[in-house]
Amino acid sequence: MKRQTLKLLALSALTLGALLPLPGIAAEPIPVVASFSILGDLVQVVGGERVKVTTLVGVDADAHTFEPKPLDAKTILQSRLFVINGLNFEPWAQKLAKSTNYKGQMLAASEGIKPRSMPPEKGHNHADTDPHAWQDPNNVVLYVKNIAKSLASLDPAGAIHYQKNSAKYIEELQALDQFTLAQFAPLTAKQRQVITSHDAFGYFAARYQIRFLAPQGINADLDPSAKEVAQLIRQIKRDQIKAVFVENMSNPKLLAQIAQDTGVTLGAKLYVDALSGPSEPGSTYLKMMRHNVAQLVAGMRQN
């Protein structure tokens, strides 16, 4: 009888062992919501198979003008982590979390980053702060560390997994930074001038010493005055700026008109506040940045 009881216990243990998750493997992916596509990519890279990521503002979409729908509220309530950029980039996200009485963890991925101030003459909806901190890969290192820390707090068993993923990705970010410095190195100060749809390249400009000019302020849905447009046209002609680009989530009409008035040909599309679909060159953060660098270099060489 005793031997039979031991056999039954051993069989039960084996059965139970087959049902339990293996060490390091999450029983069920952690539901995470990211406010916009670039953050969604970063969370997926750090979390890997241990997370299920939903992005509210999708590819080629503008987070500045996004309006949440009832389904978005439901999606947030079903998540354990809500990742936003912070720096007042998406104020609608915090309002949405509050209105739904969200009880999960909320992370501002830019936490700890020293924000840039916007020039006082620029009209925008972000107070005096430039929220586009991801335009400097060195800032994204901190984004990734913050994401890894938050995921580990929710899933301690996966802490090593998140740490390994983030460490590997940080190496790629550092390589991206060095690649970008090397690409811009041959360009003179006079060549380093670019016209873009709106002021979203402040951190990029500061890191890589590029001068970006835009007919719109920091907020892509604000229309510039006729005086501002006229000033920009005069500057393009005076400085012979050939590097003129539109962004994937911007209305290209204004910049196309400026290009026509100055005789400049528009360059390839840049990806700034949103990733592209999988068939285009900005489908991940790393691909987006390398694409932008290649296009900017090609444009500035003509200056």
Does one domain contain both 146 and 269? Answer: no
- What's the domain count of the chain? 2
What is the mean predicted confidence (pLDDT) over 144-150? Answer: 98
Q: Give per-residue pLDDT as tens, 69-78.
A: 999 999 999 9
Top pLDDT among 27 and 201 is at 201
Q: Residue 17's pLDDT is what?
A: 40
pLDDT above 70: percentage of residues in the chain: 83
Q: Residue 197's pLDDT is what?
A: 72
Q: Residue 252's pLDDT is what?
A: 64
Q: Is the distance from CB of 241 to CB of 259 less than 8 angstroms? A: no
Read off the pLDDT band of 233 (50, 70, 90). confident
Does one domain contain both 174 and 60? Answer: yes
Does one domain contain both 192 and 66? Answer: no
Lowest mean pLDDT of 34-38, 105-109, 213-217, 269-273, name the range: 213-217
Q: Give per-residue pLDDT as tens, 238-251.
A: 888 888 887 775 65
Is 191 part of any domain? yes
Is 11 part of any domain? no
* Structural domain range at position 171: 30-180
Q: Residue 24's pLDDT is what?
A: 47
Read off the pLDDT band of 127 (50, 70, 90). low
Average pLDDT, the chain: 85
**Which are the contacts of 284, defined by CB distance < 8 A and separation ≥ 6?**
41, 275
Q: Residue 14's pLDDT is what?
A: 38
Is 10 part of any domain? no
Is 5 part of any domain? no
Does one domain contain both 192 and 176? Answer: no
Domain at 108, CATH number: 3.40.50.1980
pTM here? 0.84
Q: Is 285 exposed, middle or buried (0-12, 13-18, 19+ CB in 10 A)?
A: buried
Does one domain contain both 82 and 162? Answer: yes
Does one domain contain both 107 and 153? Answer: yes
Is 281 part of any domain? yes
Check pLDDT > 50 for residue 9: no
Is 3 part of any domain? no
Does one domain contain both 209 and 278? Answer: yes
Which residues, in sequence order, are bridge partners of residue 37?
A: none
Does one domain contain both 158 and 193? Answer: no
Is 4 part of any domain? no
Is 74 part of any domain? yes
62 φ/ψ sector (left φ>0, alpha ψ -120 to 50, else beta)? beta
| Residue finishing a domain among 133, 156, 180 | 180
Does one domain contain both 40 and 174? Answer: yes
